[in-house]
Amino acid sequence: MRLHGCMTRIMIIVGSVRPGRVGLSVAEWVRDRIQETLHGDGSGGGDAASLDLVDLAELNLPFLDEPHHPVKKAYTKPHTVAWSERVSAADAVVLISPEYNHSYSPALKNALDFLYTEWAHKPVAVVSYGGASAGTRGAAALAPVLASVGLVKVAANPEINFIGTKMVDGVFQGDDKLAGTVAAMTRMLVETSEALKPLR
């Protein structure tokens, strides 16, 4: 199934910010697979601007430093206003989620906590990775947080186990099976985004 001409704007958020992380390479691989699903062979039939890769290391948000609950949107800091505008522009979200001590990353929690209504009624998928458990304990811990801000989790959530064995010279090596799950995830994000549009 190809989704040519699709204008769903998908934001991909890299949840790991530490030096030596694998998360950015995982995110780039996932981004390329989403691109293929959205635009077929990538020969120009689609709109690359529909994908926004957010590297939280680059975004460099401080720990939540706003005095008011984000539901009020009474933001006092330029970095919050910029983050709000960027998330508002997205129709769907993909979280690239490492597992740290059986949970998800503090950088992801911080980035989520900064905003509130900007997340609402948007589909979300979690690409989790780790050791034997493929980061699924982290993804499970993340689920109630996503629900609390109104993100709607789709059914296809790619899981990558033994991540260290899938890196060659710092580059993540995904396989066809994983690519198939990312394609299913992409289709669900697009369909669910369309279904939720009247609520946004």
Residue 81 has a CB neighbour count (10 Å cut-off) of 12
The answer to whether the CB of 124 falls within 8 A of the CB of 154 is: yes
Q: How far is the CB of 167 from ligand FMN (least distance, A)?
A: 8
Q: How far is the CB of 182 from ligand FMN (least distance, A)?
A: 17
Question: Which residues of this chain interact with ligand FMN, rule CB under 6 A?
Answer: 16, 18, 21-23, 98-102, 130-131, 133, 163
Which residue's CB is nearer to ligand FMN, number 130 or number 174?
A: 130
Which residue's CB is nearer to ligand FMN, number 100 or number 116?
A: 100
Residue number of the CB closest to ligand FMN reads 130
Q: How far is the CB of 67 from ligand FMN (least distance, A)?
A: 30
Which residue's CB is nearer to ligand FMN, number 5 or number 131?
A: 131
For tokens 């975004």, the residue is 59
What distances in angstroms separate CA 195 from CA 4, 40, 163, 189, one per listed residue? 18, 23, 34, 10
Which residue's CB is nearer to ligand FMN, number 32 or number 66?
A: 32
Distance CA 106, CA 115 (A): 15
Give, for 87, the enclosing helix (H) or strand (E): helix 78-88
